[in-house]
Amino acid sequence: MKTFGLIGEKLSHSLSPEIHNVIFQKLGIKATYNLFEVENNNIAEVGEAIRVLNIKGVNITIPYKEEVINSVEELSKEAEKIGAINTIINCEGVLKGYNTDYYGFGRMLNRFSVSLQNKKVVILGTGGAAKAVAQYVSDSKPRDVVLIARNKEKAKRTFKKYDVFDYKDLKNIVGDIIVNTTPVGMYPNMGESPVGTEIIKKYNTAVDIIFNPIETEFLRLARENGLKTIDGLYMLVGQAVKAEEIWLDTEISNAVEEEIYLKIRPLLEEKL
């Protein structure tokens, strides 16, 4: 039986086991998906642990998407461009890193009919998730891409090819799509939003990659101001499906992906 899992700091509310177990069931794969909570001072040992325990593949979640790059021998093309990984495959002891957040974000936008072409996209946050989102947006022929950081100078050193501003600059920025990649508003700190109504209402579409809760305070404010809103659950499913395609060397249809999404959404609603 093959072993897979999720590596992160605090994982008690993760939906990943449910998603991957549904995929295993649909594909007739005998496998287990476990949660591996790792303290920050042990993250450097992750690569060796994957080899020793003969784990076939893992997902990586906050706060380790950038740090674990040092644990792999090879990077996929998108991971190399992004500088962060969230998926590792163990190929007989050789570890290769991928960024399936990139694909999950794209699949989510496609599912909800959001085009980035010729749009001005403002991204809140400059962490590991923002790297994947910014790269996908940049690859989708937007009119402009802007990142908003708490520490503008630090972010500029990482996001060299993008315009980077801090939050106080937002009052002078108008765009089409605003994307939250920060953890602000995520369970258990619900009821918080990275920006207020006066900023949100300058856009047509609001996307939050947070999936717990399904409707964050950010999305609630956006909905009440007439914006199209998209939560992060389909991105979670999409990146998980892409990870399985990598691990199992197979292709999973859009119909199966949609079925998984429709099965997982009620499970999340039950947890809230």
CA dihedral 126, 129, 132, 134 (to 10 degrees): -40
Radius of gyration, CA atoms only, the chain: 18
Among this protein's residues, is 65 annotated catalytic?
yes
Query: What is the band of 81 on the pLDDT scale with cuts at 50, 70, 90?
Result: very high
2-98+234-271 belongs to CATH 3.40.50.10860? yes
Name the active-site residue from 2, 26, 56, 65. Answer: 65
Query: What is the band of 270 on the pLDDT scale with cuts at 50, 70, 90?
Result: low
Residue 187's pLDDT is what? 86
Query: What is the band of 188 on the pLDDT scale with cuts at 50, 70, 90?
Result: confident
Query: What is the band of 62 on the pLDDT scale with cuts at 50, 70, 90?
Result: confident
Q: Which residue in this structure is represented by tokens 């950038």?
A: 66
Residue 272's pLDDT is what? 55
The domain locations on the chain are 2-98+234-271, 103-231
> Which of 24-28, 55-59, 178-182, 197-201 is least confident?
24-28
Three-class secondary structure assignment of 125-153 = CCCHHHHHHHHHHHCCCCCEEEEEECCHH
Mean pLDDT, the chain, rounded, equals 94
CATH superfamily of 103-231: NAD(P)-binding Rossmann-like Domain (3.40.50.720)
3-state secondary structure of 272: coil
Cα separation of 145 and 163, whole Å? 7
DSSP class of 195: S
